[in-house]
Chain A
Amino acid sequence: MIPRYQRIVFWLLLVCITGMSLFLVRGCSEARKKLTALADATPIAAPASTTRPEEVTLELASDVDDSITPTQRTLALPQDQPLRLRNILQALLAEYALPTSAHVLPAEPAVIDVFLIPLSAMDNDQPQSPLQAASAVSDTTPLLAVVNLRSSFVLHHPSGVQSEDLTLQSIVGTLHAASPQIARVRFLVDGQPHDTLAGHISLTRTYPAVDTAYAPALPNASPQDAAR
C-alpha cells in the first residue's frame, strides 16, 4: 500500500513536469518565430516614393557654336534639395553622353553628391558646429553648393579650353536655374580638392552661381552682343 503523502507528491510532480514541458515548447516556438523574422530580407514596408515630376532648366552646352542654351526638361525629382540637385546634374551630364550631343562627354556617372552650406557659416570668423549652421539656414540664406565629382569622370573629360569651359559653365548655370538660393559653386573630386577639370579650368576656385546662357557673336558684331 502506497502511503497517501507519496501519491500526493507523485501527482504534484507530474503536474509540474507537464507545466514545464508546455512552457518550454511555447518558448521554443516563439524563439523560432523571432529568428525567422530577423532573417527575412524583405523590407517591412516599401519606402514611400517622394519623387515628383518637375520642369527644370538644363543649361546645355554646344561645342559647335560655343553656346550655352537653356533647355526645359521634365524630371522625376526627390524633394530633398541636395539629392534633387544631384539628380538634375546627373540628368544634365547624361545628355552629354548621348550620341547626338553637341558637347560629348564620357558616358559614366559624374556626380557623387551635392552639399549645400550656408555662406553665412563660411564667412563667419567664429567656427560653427554643423548643428548651428543648419539652424541658421532659412529659405533666403545664400548657399554655397559643393559639387563632388567622380574621379573617373574628370579623368575621361576631354582636355581643352573650350570643352572644359563649357562643362563648368553648364553645371554652374544649371545649379543657378535649379535653385536661386545658390550663390556660389565649388568643386571636389572624390571628396578632395582638385587642381583642374582636365588641365585647363581651375577646380580650386569658387565660382559665382549666375545665369551662364551664352550665344557667341560672330566677329565684327559688337563685343557686347556676345553677352547673352
Chain B
Amino acid sequence: MVFLDPAHGGADPGARISDQLDEKTATLALAAALRPALAQAGFTVLSSRDAELPVNTTLPLDQRAGLANHAQAAACLVLHVTAAGSGVHLATSTLDAAAPTTPGLPAPWDTAQAGYVERSRALANELGEALLQGQLPVLLGRTLVPPLDNLTCPAVLLEVAPLRGADPRQPDDATYQLQLARAVAAGLRRFHQAQSGDDHQPAKPRPHPAAPARPEPQGDATAPRGATP
C-alpha cells in the first residue's frame, strides 16, 4: 500500500502557483494523477484527503502523520507543489538513522522516522532514478518540513516545480503530471521489489551514516508523543 498526503487544504492554501491556482488544489490534482498510475502498478492507494477540505478547517500535520502511521504503508509520499525552482525535488528527513523500535512499542513522536530513514533514502533514490529515466530533472535533498519526522514508513517529500528550458511546463500541466506519475509508479515498484528481496535475506547490521548535513529540529514541546508505529 502507498500512502499519499496532498499537503495543505482548506484554510491553508499553501503557495500561490499562479493567479488561478493555489498549492492546495495543485497537490490534490497531483494525487489524482498519481492514483491510477500506482493502481496500475499494483499498489493500493490511501490518501490523507481526496477532496478539498471544508472552508476554515485544516488537516493538522499530526493528524496526517497519524493516518499514515495507522495505515502501515509500504511507502508514504508527502506531496507539495511550488512555483519556485525547477523540476522535481525529492527530500527525506534530516534525522539520523536509528534502529527501528521493537514492534508493539511506541516510537518517540518527534523522531519516529529515524528507524525508517535509510529505507526513505533508498526510496528517494529509486524515485529519483525513475524520474531521470522519465526525462524529468530531479534533486535529492533533506528537509525539516513536517510531518516527515513523525512518519513510521519509508517516507519521501515530493515537491513538484515547473519544468524550465526548451519545453517549459507548469506543475498542473497534464502531460507533466502523467510523465511524473509513470516515473513515480516505476520507482515505487522497483523500491518494493528491492525491499521484498531484502526481506528474504538474513538481517544485517546497518552501518550508521555520517552526522546529518542539515540540522534536526529539537523536540517541539507541544508535539504529542507516544504514537504507535
A-side residues, CB < 8 A to B, are: 63, 65-66, 158-165, 168-169, 172, 184, 198-202, 204-214, 216-220, 223-224, 226-228
Contacts and interface: CB of A to CB of B under 8 A. Distances in A.
Most buried by A among B84, B132, B211: B84
B139 A207 contact: no
Interface of B: 8, 12, 14-16, 23, 80, 82-85, 89, 91, 118, 121-122, 124-129, 131-132, 138-146, 157, 159, 161, 209-218, 220
Contact of B220 (A163, A204, A219): A204
A interface SS class: loop
B218 A207 contact: yes
24 contacts: A66-B140, A159-B14, A160-B80, A160-B83, A162-B85, A162-B159, A164-B145, A165-B214, A169-B215, A172-B215, A198-B15, A199-B8, A199-B12, A201-B144, A202-B144, A202-B146, A207-B215, A207-B217, A210-B214, A212-B215, A214-B214, A216-B139, A227-B211, A228-B210
Contacts of B82: 158-163
B213 A184 contact: no
A223 B118 contact: yes
Given A66-B141, A169-B214, A228-B210, A220 B122 contact: no
B54 to A, nearest CB: 20
Contact of B85 (A163, A198, A208, A223): A163
Contacts of A208: 215-216, 218
Contacts of A204: 220
A160 B159 contact: yes
Contact of B213 (A63, A200, A202, A214): A214
